[in-house]
């Protein structure tokens, strides 16, 4: 998807802020929908689909963090919309709060047109090139099935179940390592899961693990923290595809 095709939701209770960022986005060729509150953002997401959301953190009533949690809960098992916090706060606890709420990154006020473009480009390269991305690539999964034996689907289902267990286990290991500032463990856990995910075609999950591993080896644990919700979104897609695979190949009841 070209950047000019992005449908963006801009959420901010301050009219001046909305107009300024909205003007920047339109200059970059985007289609912009505006919301003046957290509740309005939730309502907009219930009624439409967006490629990207800029979310102000500090708003009266339902703030940006609460709105993000609600949006994430509603899209569970479906494609995640990247959400970037727009905030003047840059403290470490603000980064953690954004990540825990399900935000993917943050952009601090004031910002330039180039910063807005760079923010969008970052996600365009990794997410929007295939907006209908699957949890499991059918071609790779089918090749795996043929290799393992198409007449032994029970074994394939066992492997897929093992992948889910491994993903959940490594997700917990990564979280614990992040809490302890242990970059080496983040890198090891990410590398291990990347390999397992790649085998059965869980490409988005494997790609996220690859970026986690690279960031951890570079000592950039904040990048990993801010991308945990992307991991969870990819894992939800994998889980959904595995459930569909099992249902499709379930033995009929006699």
CATH code at position 222: 1.20.120
Which strand (E) or helix (H) includes residue 122? Answer: helix 113-123
Q: Do residues 41 and 55 make contact, with C-beta atoms less than 8 angstroms apart?
A: yes
The number of domains in the chain is 2
Q: pLDDT digit of tens for each residue in the chain (254 aa)?
A: 344 578 999 999 999 999 999 999 999 999 999 999 999 999 999 888 888 999 998 899 999 999 999 998 887 656 678 899 988 765 666 777 787 788 888 788 888 998 898 888 777 654 444 444 578 888 888 888 888 877 778 888 999 999 999 999 999 999 999 999 999 999 999 999 998 999 999 988 998 999 899 999 999 898 888 788 788 888 988 998 898 888 877 654 43
Instruction: State the distance between the two ends of the chain, measured CA to CA, in whole angstroms.
Output: 47
Domain assignment of residue 253, yes or no: no
Give the CA radius of gyration of the chain.
Answer: 19
Burial of 171 (C-beta count, 10 Å sphere; 0-12/13-18/19+)? middle
The answer on 142 and 124 residing in a single domain is: no
Domain assignment of residue 117, yes or no: yes
Domain assignment of residue 224, yes or no: yes
**What DSSP character marks residue 5?**
G
The answer on 22 and 123 residing in a single domain is: yes
What is the pLDDT at residue 2? 41
The answer on 30 and 110 residing in a single domain is: yes
The answer on 146 and 88 residing in a single domain is: no
CA–CA–CA angle 214, 216, 220 (5° rounding): 105
What is the pLDDT at residue 74? 87
What is the pLDDT at residue 6? 86
Domain boundary among 128, 149, 182: 128
The answer on 112 and 14 residing in a single domain is: yes
The answer on 110 and 49 residing in a single domain is: yes
Residues 6 or more apart in contact with residue 177 via CB below 8 angstroms = 183, 185, 186, 189
CATH code at position 102: 3.40.50.2300
Which strand (E) or helix (H) includes residue 65? Answer: helix 64-74
Q: Do residues 55 and 103 make contact, with C-beta atoms less than 8 angstroms apart?
A: yes
Domain assignment of residue 232, yes or no: yes
Domain extent, residue 15, equals: 3-128
């Amino acid at each position: 998807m070209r950047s000019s095709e992005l449908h963006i939701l801009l959420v901010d209770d301050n009219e001046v802020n909305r107009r300024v960022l909205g003007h920047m986005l339109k200059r970059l060729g985007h289609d912009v929908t505006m919301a003046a509150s957290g509740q309005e953002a939730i309502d907009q997401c219930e009624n439409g689909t967006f490629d990207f959301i800029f979310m102000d953190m500090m708003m009266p009533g339902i703030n940006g963090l609460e709105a993000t949690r609600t949006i994430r809960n509603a899209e569970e098992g479906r494609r995640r919309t990247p959400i970037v916090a727009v905030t003047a706060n840059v403290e470490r606890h603000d980064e953690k709060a954004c990540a825990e709420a399900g935000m993917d990154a943050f952009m601090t006020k004031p910002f330039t047109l180039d910063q807005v473009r760079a923010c969008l480009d970052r996600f365009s390269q990794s997410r929007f090139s295939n907006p209908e991305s699957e949890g499991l690539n059918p071609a790779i999964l089918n090749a795996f099935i043929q290799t393992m034996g198409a007449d032994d689907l029970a074994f394939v289902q066992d492997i897929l179940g093992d992948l889910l267990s491994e993903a959940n286990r490594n997700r917990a290991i990564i979280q614990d390592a992040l809490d302890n500032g242990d970059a080496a463990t983040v890198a090891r856990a990410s590398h291990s899961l990347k390999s397992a995910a790649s085998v059965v075609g869980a490409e988005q999950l494997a790609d996220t693990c690859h970026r986690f591993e690279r960031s951890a080896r570079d000592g950039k644990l904040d990048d990993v923290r801010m991308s945990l919700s992307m991991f969870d979104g990819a894992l939800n897609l994998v889980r959904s595809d595995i459930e569909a695979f099992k249902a499709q190949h379930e033995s009929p009841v006699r």
